[in-house]
């Protein structure tokens, strides 16, 4: 009876968070896929390093060549498997802590959760308007219906945040020992010469972000990056790399070249923020209009943009990303460890905290 009760509660903590990435969903098909990945990832290698695995007209293909091609996707799969296991473990830990606290207060779990989330701050009209302005070009309902949906989503986010804060408080008051071992991370060497960055050059942790200015998931993850910068301060450096995907966003490349032109005048990050704050627009007039509001010397900017001065620099970033196995945006490398998608804050903090602990 108790195990069934815990399983029921676990579903609450395992529910995907509103506004998260598609990888947050905890569904049976996802579990089956992960189990298959476990089999694939943990199948022992049949061939030794350097051993021939095939020949084409007498030309040898070695196991090392295969390993080089699949190292990035295999690393991603191992991280996904661990993330799923860790999420399930954290949910079970939360269950036990909440059940124990409910028993201590002599109340039901449901009553405890209700009591702890009752004082969540109401969603304000200013918060709703801010989200509406950002998303209105993507909404397919009238303004009144859209704002009601936004209100519900923001309220759900606040409730979820309060629940997580409550569990964090219970964990801090308890002795919790996690013995689940993370996978040995694969690390990739990146060339960061000339790339725009925020934070100290010598920060112990570097997050390199490959992004597309017209990618909605890249836009969605920006507040998370702001939270990370505030949380870790001088211990974190964030580096930007270009990865416009022409097949999906044909005007994005122009936006990346424009941001490079702004960078030449020391205005990269303000231009970066303005691009994400507005609806995607890769026209020259639209890109110049953004620059006019940012104290940019317009004659030099327009010459840079019209001449496509940074065309090769943007392509160089794309080539570097392709070499590293970047297949979509956003893709991040945290001290060389890959993290794909618009992940929730805790996915980033887990890796950053592991890196800080490793370096201390």
Domain coordinates in residue numbering, the chain: 2-172, 197-359
24 has a pLDDT exceeding 80: no
pLDDT over 80 at 113, yes or no:
yes
Residue 94 has pLDDT above 80, yes or no: yes
pLDDT of 89 over the 90 cut: yes
Please, which residues have CB within 8 angstroms of residue 210's CB and are 6 or more apart in sequence?
241, 242, 243, 317, 321, 326, 329, 330, 331, 332, 333
- Each residue of 118-168: pLDDT tens digit? 999 999 999 998 888 877 777 777 888 889 999 999 999 999 989 999 999
List, for residues 37-77, the tens digit of each pLDDT value.
Answer: 555 555 555 567 778 999 999 999 998 888 877 877 787 78
Distance between CA 39 and CA 45 in Å, rounded?
12
pLDDT score for 7: 45
Q: DSSP per residue over 314-328, as a string?
A: HHHHHHHHHHTT--S
Tell me the backbone φ, ψ of residue 346, rounded to 5 degrees.
-65, -25
- Specify the pLDDT at position 47: 62
Per-residue model confidence (pLDDT) at position 315: 97
The pair of structure tokens assigned to 251 is 């005007």
pLDDT for 16 equals 41
Quote the CA–CA distance of 198 and 162 in Å, as a whole number: 30
- CA 273 to chain centroid, in Å, comes to 17
344-348: long-range contacts (C-beta < 8 A, 24 or more apart)?
344/17, 344/20, 344/21, 344/24, 344/224, 345/224, 345/227, 345/228, 347/83, 348/207, 348/224, 348/228
Q: What are phi and psi of 223, to 5 degrees?
A: -60, -30
Q: Where do the H-state alpha helices sit in 106-142?
A: 109-117, 125-135
Whole-number pLDDT of residue 27: 40
Least confident of 10-19, 170-179, 217-226, 277-286: 10-19
Average pLDDT over residues 177-193: 89
Q: Is the model's pLDDT at 21 over the cut of 50? A: no
3 state DSSP class of 54: strand
pLDDT band at residue 185, thresholds of 50, 70 and 90?
confident
The arrangement of secondary structure in 197-359, i.e. its CATH architecture, is 3-Layer(aba) Sandwich (3.40)
How far is the CA of 115 from the CAs of 108, 154, 181, 283, in angstroms? 11, 19, 35, 52
User: Is residue 339 pLDDT above 70, yes or no?
Assistant: yes
Q: Which residue has the tokens 């017209």?
A: 214
Of 143, 134, 154, the C-alpha closest to 280 is 134
Strands 236-242 and 197-198: antiparallel
Query: What percent of the chain shows pLDDT beyond 90?
Result: 62
Mean pLDDT within 227-245: 97
Residue 210 CB-density burial (10 A; 0-12 exposed, 13-18 middle, 19+ buried): buried
pLDDT of 259 > 90? The answer is yes
Give the separation between CA 319 and CA 92, rounded to whole angstroms: 43
Q: Indicate whether 291 pLDDT > 50.
A: yes
**183 to 82, 122, 209: CA distances (angstroms):** 7, 41, 22
Which pLDDT score, from 0 to 100, does residue 3 have? 45
Top mean-pLDDT range of 1-5, 126-130, 233-237, 292-296: 233-237
Residue identified by tokens 């061939």 is 47
Over 189-233, what HEC string results?
CCCCCCCCEECCCCCCEEEEEEECCCCHHHHHHHHHHHHHHHHHH
In the prediction, which pLDDT does 33 show? 52
């Amino acid at each position: 009876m108790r195990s069934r009760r815990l399983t029921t509660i676990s579903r609450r903590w395992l529910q995907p968070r509103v506004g998260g990435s598609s990888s947050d969903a905890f569904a049976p098909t996802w579990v089956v896929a992960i189990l298959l990945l476990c089999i694939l990832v943990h199948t022992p290698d049949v061939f030794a390093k350097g051993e021939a695995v095939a020949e084409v007209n007498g030309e040898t293909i070695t196991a090392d060549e295969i390993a080089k091609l699949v190292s990035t996707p295999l690393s991603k799969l191992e991280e996904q498997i661990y993330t799923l296991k860790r999420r399930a473990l954290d949910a079970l830990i939360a269950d036990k802590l909440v059940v124990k606290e409910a028993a201590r207060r002599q109340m039901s779990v449901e009553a405890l959760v209700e009591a702890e989330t009752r004082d969540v701050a109401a969603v304000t009209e200013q918060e709703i308007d801010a989200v509406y302005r950002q998303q209105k070009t993507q909404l397919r309902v009238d303004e009144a219906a859209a704002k009601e949906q936004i209100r519900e989503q923001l309220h759900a986010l606040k409730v979820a945040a309060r629940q997580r804060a409550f569990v964090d408080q219970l964990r801090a008051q308890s002795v919790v020992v996690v013995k689940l071992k993370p996978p040995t991370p694969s690390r990739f060497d990146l060339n960061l010469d000339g790339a725009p960055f925020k934070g100290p050059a010598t920060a112990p942790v570097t997050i390199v972000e490959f992004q597309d200015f017209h990618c909605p998931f890249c836009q969605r993850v920006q507040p998370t990056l702001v939270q990370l910068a505030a949380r870790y301060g001088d211990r974190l450096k964030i580096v930007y790399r270009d990865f416009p995907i022409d097949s999906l966003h044909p005007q994005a490349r122009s936006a990346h070249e424009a941001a490079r032109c702004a960078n030449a005048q020391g205005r990269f990050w303000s231009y970066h923020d303005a691009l994400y704050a507005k609806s995607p627009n890769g026209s020259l007039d639209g890109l110049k209009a953004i620059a006019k509001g940012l104290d940019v010397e317009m004659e030099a900017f327009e010459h840079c943009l019209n001449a496509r001065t940074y065309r090769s620099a943007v392509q160089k970033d794309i080539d570097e990303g392709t070499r590293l196995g970047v297949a979509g945006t956003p893709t991040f490398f945290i001290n060389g460890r890959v993290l794909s998608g618009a992940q929730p804050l805790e996915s980033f903090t887990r890796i950053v905290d592991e890196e800080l602990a490793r370096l201390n």
